[in-house]
Chains A and B, each alone.
Chain A
């Protein structure tokens, strides 16, 4: 369980998060919505301990991570598979080396085993053909997929964290990424035979400003505004909300023929 307890965070004089408190179970499917610069990425970074809150407490499975050192945080980070905004592939390495990054760093796999594993992972996300390409040769959608594959190789995650996985993609590609996100967390999928990544209903947190995509994947919605969570509820509650800021966000949905 992820628990934020009265978390304050600022960059210099810019107060980003104000007295933020919430809790999320590992098996939940959560979307954190909010406009640009509202601090969505900041929340994900706080969860994996990349930045520390000014005050307040963040606990992961009962462990307080606020005062942990980089080494102590390693165990915590292993619980998550995080995909950053824009994918964040290492642009000096090709797709294969990107996906193999953690395998090379932490396992003594032979070249053949590594190759096999990388191909399996790329197959799961559906971009096997890109294995020899460099990141700059990938389209936006492929980039995200490879990034997801890379984060799957890292460990046995208990939860996925996605930062704007669909932004900058056309609706069809965005939809495919949404499907992949659901596939990766629905039990028991992908099948054990296919690469051996265990299913088991791992949840995810998807951070996005695209309400439409969030609606497709998530069960619980949080809306971030001025450093505070002004809404926390399920899909029905979101649709029927009377909060004007959120209604503005939902305009996008109404463009769809009913």
Chain B
């Protein structure tokens, strides 16, 4: 009896602590996201750290984005030419490839690759800094870890992901072109002119907003998860995995929400 009562008291306490942790976790996440962003325009600036992060995020991810985008573009074009030629609508291949890549696939694919490579790196690096008391050391030295560690990562993601997305878009369109022209034997001039036609302000804007949002989300999620690491090597594994998984889910979910908002705002009928 007594034991059972104690257990239930303990469980109740656990539950309370868990809920408290969840709420304070969310609060910390918002604070980190906000202060990390404000840090971009507030002193002190850590230029060197930002450049280092940009180098890591940009140069290191370029090749992967290139490869992935090329094959996504090719596969898309292949599928579309096959299906559209069955319907006798082969000439629409370029247009549909263009719209899907610019508005949807380009930003999402680049963001997913970015989360997997750069985001995981952020989380594990910050996590091991936490475990090795390096973050505590920064605080003791009077340096704000958010400004020193988070802001450079947010800034570099805000700059690099859009750039990588543009490159990825271009590579995808080129992959699509290769299949359309050399495999499906369509006219190359017609392909490029349909691409040019879909490069309207609305489409480009819809595609250009996304990578900024995705970059910001990835950086905030991965920095937050990294900085809240605890519990040794296993904890590090847990937070790296969590950072990537959460980022991926958030990218897909926010992509849908953004698409809905953008289509509405830009006046596309659905």
Contacts and interface: CB of A to CB of B under 8 A. Distances in A.
Interface of A: 12-13, 45, 48, 50, 70, 74, 77-78, 80, 82, 84-86, 88-92, 101-102, 105-106, 154
A84 B136 contact: yes
B14 interface: yes
B132 interface: yes
A88 B134 contact: yes
Contacts, number: 48
29 contacts: A12-B17, A12-B21, A13-B13, A50-B136, A50-B140, A70-B139, A70-B144, A74-B142, A77-B139, A77-B141, A82-B137, A82-B140, A84-B133, A84-B136, A85-B133, A86-B132, A86-B133, A88-B132, A88-B137, A89-B134, A90-B134, A91-B132, A91-B134, A92-B52, A102-B141, A105-B142, A105-B143, A154-B140, A154-B141
Contacts of B17: 12-13
A242 B199 CA distance: 84
Q: B10, B141, B143: which has the most chain A beta carbons within 10 Å? A: B141
A86 B129 CA distance: 12
B133 A88 contact: yes
Given A12-B17, A45-B136, A78-B142, 16 more contacts: A12-B21, A13-B13, A48-B140, A70-B139, A77-B139, A77-B141, A77-B142, A86-B132, A88-B132, A88-B133, A90-B134, A91-B132, A91-B134, A92-B52, A101-B141, A105-B142
Nearest to B52: A92
Nearest to A51: B136
Interface of B: 10, 13-14, 17, 21, 52, 129, 132-134, 136-137, 139-144
B29 to A, nearest CB: 18
Given A12-B21, A13-B14, A105 B141 contact: yes
A13 B12 CA distance: 11
A74 to B, nearest CB: 4
A80 B139 CA distance: 13
Contacts of A92: 52
B132 to A, nearest CB: 6
A196 B7 CA distance: 60
Contacts of B136: 45, 50, 84, 88
A86 B136 CA distance: 13
A18 B14 CA distance: 19
B32 to A, nearest CB: 14
B147 to A, nearest CB: 11
B98 to A, nearest CB: 42
A51 B140 CA distance: 11
Contacts of A101: 141
B144 A77 contact: no
Contacts of A50: 136, 139-140
B39 to A, nearest CB: 14
A154 B142 CA distance: 10
